[in-house]
Amino acid sequence: MLLEPIVPTVLSLRRIPAADPALLVAYGADPTRHVALGLVTCDQDDALYVALDEATKHAAVDVVFARSFYAGSAHASGRLSGEILGVIAAAEPQAIEDGLAALVACLAHDACFYDADGQRGITMFPHVIGALGAYLSRAAGLPAGEPMAYLVAPPMEATIGFDAALKAASVRAVKLVPPPTETNFACAWLTGIAPGDLASCEAAATAFAAAVVDVAARPRTR
């Protein structure tokens, strides 16, 4: 069904209340500040990146590790692997619980891919983050609390969509990642030229989604 939300599936969700320091170091945590870990795999990498960022807004957690797996969840290494492993770290297990609760709620009700051709043959992620958390704001080099459009689609659709999004509103590209990425999608992070301009981010995301649907319906033009 066209533009239907495809709700991500949490494939595994585990806690380590007191992780070994060697493990903490290997996964990018700081053994002097972090004790507990929360680990999650999901079948949608970009939805989980957004959900991890959401967790930093609700609990004293740091996203220490988040990596997409090659070729995406259709080619996963196991039925629990999906296409991403995300790790949050905190000084105490309760913060991990609070962070995971926010993360799971975000995956269930907010961040998701959408069906772009009515058959799930083409999917896209035209997500607008109202206020960036600690994780994505650092990755994007933007102040926390800024709005940002997080746009993902397959190579051709994304390229046409990025162009449409950048022209549709007064936004600028924070980051443009041409294909291939680990999952062979392309990705763009856009934010308003004026700080805090959520409406422009939403207009850009809508234009992106419309362009992707258009490419899916008309792959060739003269």
Partner 1 sequence: MSGTRALIAALRERLGAADPAPPRVPMPVVPAPPARVYVPRREPARGDAGGARHTTALLAIGHVGTRYATDVVLQFQAELAVAHEAVAAEVPDGWAADHGFLPLSSRVASHREFLLRPDLGRRLAPDSLQRLRDQAERSPDVQIILADGLSATACVDSGPALCAALAAACQQRGLSVGTPVCARFARVWLEDEIGHEVGAKVAVIVLGERPGLGTGDGLSAYLVHGPQIGKTDGDRNMMSNIHERGTPPPQAAERLAALAAAMIEQGTSGVGLDLARVAGEVERGYRPPQVRQRLVEP
Q: Which residues bind partner 1 (CB under 8 A)?
A: 1-5, 7, 105-106, 108-112, 114, 126-130, 202, 205-206, 209-210, 213
Dihedral sign for Cα 64, 59, 99, 7, please: negative
Which residue, 69 or 208, has its beta carbon nearer to partner 1? 208
Which residue, 19 or 140, has its beta carbon nearer to partner 1? 140
Task: Using DSSP, state whether 2 is helix, strand or coil.
Answer: coil
**CB 81, min distance to partner 1, A:** 25
b/e per residue, 177-195, with b = 16+ CB within 10 A?
A: eeeebebebbbbbbbbeee
The residue among 9, 218, 217 whose CA lies nearest residue 116 is 217
DSSP annotation string for 106-147: HHHHT--EEESSSSSSSEEEEEEESS--HHHHHHHT--TT--
**CB 164, min distance to partner 1, A:** 13
Which residue, 12 or 206, has its beta carbon nearer to partner 1? 206
One-letter amino acid of 211: A
Which residue, 94 or 184, has its beta carbon nearer to partner 1? 94
Which residue, 7 or 16, has its beta carbon nearer to partner 1? 7
**CB 151, min distance to partner 1, A:** 11
Q: Which two tokens stand for residue 189?
A: 């992070």
**CB 3, min distance to partner 1, A:** 4
**CB 14, min distance to partner 1, A:** 22
Could you give the C-alpha distances from 214 to 117, 207, 209, in angstroms and in order? 9, 10, 9
